[in-house]
Chains A and B, each alone.
Chain A
Amino acid sequence: MTVTTAVAKTVDARGLSCPLPIVKTALAIRELASGQLIEVLATDPGSTKDFAAWSKTTGNVLVESSVDGAVFRYVLIKK
């Protein structure tokens, strides 16, 4: 698996509630190749725990979980 540092795809889930940030990410990540990076922007406060859990269940590695104001940013590497 070759990991690239550039974000290959961004999912804008701002303003969306559970389970949309996760479901939309799951749909989007299918279009990526293994090792590619996906970025997710969300405003749902529950998404921090959700993305950590989702990363654990799917094996897609969560490399960044940050917050800037009211916007959460997650970066995952496709397994």
Chain B
Amino acid sequence: MTATLTRPVLPPALVEGLDDPETEGAVKTKALVIVAESGDLERTWATTILASTAAAGEMQVSIFFTFWGLFSLVRPGVRVTGTNWMQRMLAVMNRPGIDHAKLSKLNFAGMGPWMMKKLAKQYGVAEPRELLEMSQALGVRLIPCQMSMDMMGITRDQLIDGVEEPVGAATALELMTGASATLFI
């Protein structure tokens, strides 16, 4: 007696989940969203290292700069004057620009970051500014938070070139829900 084996018909829902032999093995584009909330040197470093590396790995990368993180996008040499004394004082106490990021600990009035950057140079580590520029060259989207700009008295023309239009939390969340990975740094 011989038995005939027939391949069972798979339910469509199951077939849909299988890899398509045509596209199997192909590189699928993944998206990374980083919320850069901190302006601290070590965190700015983490943000720019991950963004540039992810972009090098052909991920679609967007960084949403909010609160203290926003100061990383201010053009070098810009003096944030704001519209009132509180915004001016804020800019004096927290000097804008990615080159002026402070360490969250061992800052020692700037001695800490100075030593850190000296060490970085010695060991061939790129500074956050260089990594941010390379990220931009690799197509990383830099998106400033509108609310933070308004509150801190920072205007669009004070930001570095290539920064996108400022957006709000809803746009940031939309990006996050569509991404493969989201980081809050």
Chain A residues proximal to chain B, CB less than 8 Å: 15-20, 22-27, 44, 54, 57-59
Contacts and interface: CB of A to CB of B under 8 A. Distances in A.
B111 interface: no
A54 B56 contact: yes
B125 interface: yes
A26 B56 contact: yes
A31 to B, nearest CB: 12
Contacts of A44: 124
Given A27-B134, A27-B137, A19 B56 contact: yes
B138 interface: yes
Given A18-B125, A44-B124, A59-B26, 6 more contacts: A15-B124, A19-B49, A19-B56, A20-B126, A23-B55, A57-B27
> Which of A19, A25, A27, A59 is most buried by chain B, counting CB atoms within 10 A of its CB?
A19
Contacts of B131: 19, 23
Helix, strand, loop or mixed for chain A's interface?
helix
17 contacts: A17-B125, A18-B125, A19-B131, A20-B125, A22-B53, A22-B57, A23-B53, A23-B138, A24-B134, A26-B58, A26-B138, A27-B134, A27-B138, A54-B56, A57-B27, A57-B58, A59-B27
Nearest to B50: A19
Interface of B: 26-27, 49, 52-53, 55-58, 123-126, 131, 134, 137-138
A18 B125 CA distance: 7
Given A23-B52, A23-B138, A57 B57 contact: yes
> Which of B49, B56, B58, B125 is most buried by chain A, counting CB atoms within 10 A of its CB?
B56
A24 B26 CA distance: 24
B124 A58 contact: no
Given A20-B124, A23-B52, A23-B53, A58 B58 contact: yes
B5 to A, nearest CB: 38
Nearest to B52: A23
A17 B124 contact: yes
Contacts of B58: 26, 57-58
Contacts of B55: 23, 26
